[in-house]
Amino acid sequence: MRQTLLANFLLWTGLAAGYAVGLDQSPEQRSVEGVKLRLPAPSQDGLHFVIDGRPDYFAGSNSYWIPFLKSNADVDMVMKHLKQSGLKVLRVWGFNDVNEVPTDGRVWFHHIENGQSTINVGPDGLQRLDYVVRSAEAHGVKLIVNFVNNWSDYGGIAAYNTAFGGNATTWYTDKASQTSYRDYIKAVISRYRGSPTIFAWELANEPRCRGCDTSVIYNWAKSTSEFIKSLEPTRMVCIGDEGMGLNTQSDGSYPFTYYEGVDFEKNIQIPTIDFGTLHLYPSQWSEQDSWGNLWIEAHGAACVKAGKPCLLEEYGSLAHAPSEAPWQQTALKTKGIAGDTFWQYGDQLSTGPSPNDGYTIYRGTANYTILVTDHVKAIKHARRH
């Protein structure tokens, strides 16, 4: 999803309060090393995901903003609420790229400027992501961690292009950009290698290469996933794409085409890609919300053919529950779809409501009851039958 509320986000995160990893931890949080010894890392088995040793369909959500919070208490509260709600997986931004180092106390992870890169491992840098991982471990929540954004929010590919030259299509083959990108990937993976909390490493958020031959993203995804597997062979890896480029059950509409340089069916065949991802925003693609059921079923069929599970990784409608609940029902009954994570989770933080891009589902609302509470119950019911 492309965020457009960065300015609003900066207002409510607050710019005060330093932080040091390891301070103010609860006994439960300090037992993380023990948790690591007891629980296996998430994995895939055929068309299913395996979490804590059990193959099962799961429900989850997205929170791009949680690694940028400066309040440990807010992070812990969100993780507690996710656990209480039965949401097992949270997808987060593992990137925050800047071309100039902020002077206002904002969190940033990766400074890229004038052909040089600096990774911020300080209290306003990756130590914030450290705390998210630590809190997730303590609360039994798994994380999908993404390494770069196709969009300019929080830097992304545009920040690399500013530092090294190039554009949105040349980035995938630009040597300097890819070297910096891989250095950053290595730095992040080295911090959490072996953690049972990392569900998967994700190459990018919604990678596109408009007008490119599909071999560009295919070759980039293949080589990058191979690189990640060389760092952590047993960890799942996914692309993070929207699922575009699909012949299976295609109705010829824009998302099924190869216009954005993506070939879902070819990419999921990459040996070092463990599962497929698909995103669903019909209104952004000039489609009716009901069209989303076809999109889900088509990807399920493609994943069955590939012998790998699919994750409905982002989905949202401005109508919320009336449109999204049917998608959840379709996903749950479609072979090949092994889980879903709605866009996006909302909660009341110490600074006010978490960001709302129009798709946010806030805890405690009627939409949350339908899309989370009722959905989790439906998953449990399906498990028993």
Residues with catalytic roles: 206, 314
Q: Which two tokens stand for residue 296?
A: 């889900």
Report how far apart, in Å, the C-alpha atoms of 124 and of each of 8, 17, 69 are.
19, 10, 10
Q: Which two tokens stand for residue 367?
A: 């939409």
Report how far apart, in Å, the C-alpha atoms of 83 and of each of 86, 142, 223, 246, 342 are.
5, 10, 35, 35, 15
Rounded Cα distance between 15 and 108, Å, is 12
Place of tokens 């395996």: 50
Closest residue by Cα to residue 340 from 156, 86, 147, 69? 86
Rounded Cα distance between 3 and 316, Å, is 13
Cβ pair 179, 164 in contact under 8 A: no
